[in-house]
Amino acid sequence: MKKIGLLTIGQAPRVDLVPEIKKVLGEDVEIIERGALDGLTLKEVKSLYPGENDEVLVTRMADGTEVKVAEREIFPRLKEKIKNLEAEGINTIFLACTGEFPSFDSASLIVRPQKVLHHVVSSLAEGLTLGIIIPDERQVVSAKERWSTVASKVIVEPGSPYAGMENIEKAAKLLATSGVDLVVMDCMGYTLKMKDTVLNLVKKPVILARSISAKVVSELI
């Protein structure tokens, strides 16, 4: 059986994510899950909370509890988990986060959803008004800067995938009234059901990070 590593910035297992990934990859692929926060208590994770000048990452504990962590705290933990997966003979690793990270300095194939999304959307977004849904209010400025490199007009709305569908609906309704042409759901936590909700409210094409990234992984195995 073919194997890939799935590396989350939160805790494994990701019961909210892996079933949808398996539908894309097929049942003959074994997914070895690891998380940057594996083995930590909620109290310990709260010590990794982002400061005023930190890049914010939003993820979940194994029990589904939403947590926010500083990117600088997560990056070295991800590097350690990559080394662990490589030691197990895994050389294709799916990073389950759309955040921007420095190079992992690894010989493995690492699928980075942020790069996948950026390149796909840049091929489509010329002349369009781009709508972006991200998990947290503190990510709005950096998301707008990042996506403004591929579209002349970018509208960003926060809506956490870990805090109830009403957050997603609110973001979608705001984008619907803003005249966007294309929506990007810029977090691996957003589900196919959430995509359908946004599609029904905005009435415009919606790109989902987890599914489009999984399709790239499927080409590698």
Residue 144 binned pLDDT confidence (cut-offs 50, 70, 90): very high
User: Which tens digits make up the pLDDT trace of 154-163?
Assistant: 999 999 999 9
Q: Do residue 17 and residue 45 come from a single domain?
A: yes
Q: Do residue 102 and residue 163 come from a single domain?
A: no
Q: Taking 90 as the threshold, does the pLDDT of residue 214 lie above it? A: yes
Q: Taking 90 as the threshold, does the pLDDT of residue 181 lie above it? A: yes
Please, how many CA atoms are within 13 Å of residue 218, restricted to the half-sphere of its CB?
Answer: 15
Contact between 42 and 61 under an 8 Å Cβ cutoff? The reply is yes
Mean pLDDT of 59-71: 97
E strand map for the chain: 2-8, 29-35, 56-60, 66-70, 92-96, 109-111, 129-134, 153-158, 182-185, 206-208
User: Which tens digits make up the pLDDT trace of 10-39?
Assistant: 999 999 999 999 999 999 999 999 999 999
Residue 139 binned pLDDT confidence (cut-offs 50, 70, 90): very high
Q: Taking 90 as the threshold, does the pLDDT of residue 118 lie above it? A: yes
Question: Model pTM greater than 0.85?
Answer: yes
Q: Do residue 40 and residue 79 come from a single domain?
A: yes
Q: Do residue 122 and residue 188 come from a single domain?
A: yes
- Tokens 């709305």 locate to 157
Residue 111 binned pLDDT confidence (cut-offs 50, 70, 90): very high
Q: Do residue 92 and residue 178 come from a single domain?
A: no
Q: Taking 90 as the threshold, does the pLDDT of residue 134 lie above it? A: yes
Mean pLDDT of 192-218: 98
Average pLDDT value over all residues in the chain: 96
Contact between 133 and 183 under an 8 Å Cβ cutoff? The reply is yes
Encoded tokens for 18:
């892996």
Q: Do residue 108 and residue 194 come from a single domain?
A: no
Q: Do residue 54 and residue 89 come from a single domain?
A: yes
pLDDT of residue 11: 98
Residue 105 binned pLDDT confidence (cut-offs 50, 70, 90): confident
Q: Do residue 6 and residue 107 come from a single domain?
A: yes
User: Which tens digits make up the pLDDT trace of 33-56?
Assistant: 999 999 999 999 999 999 999 999
Q: Do residue 138 and residue 73 come from a single domain?
A: no
| Percent over 70 (pLDDT), the chain | 100
> Burial, 119: exposed, middle or buried (Cβ in 10 Å; 0-12, 13-18, 19+)?
exposed
Q: In the chain, how many domains are there?
A: 2
pLDDT of residue 76: 96
Q: What is the largest CA-CA distance in the chain?
A: 50
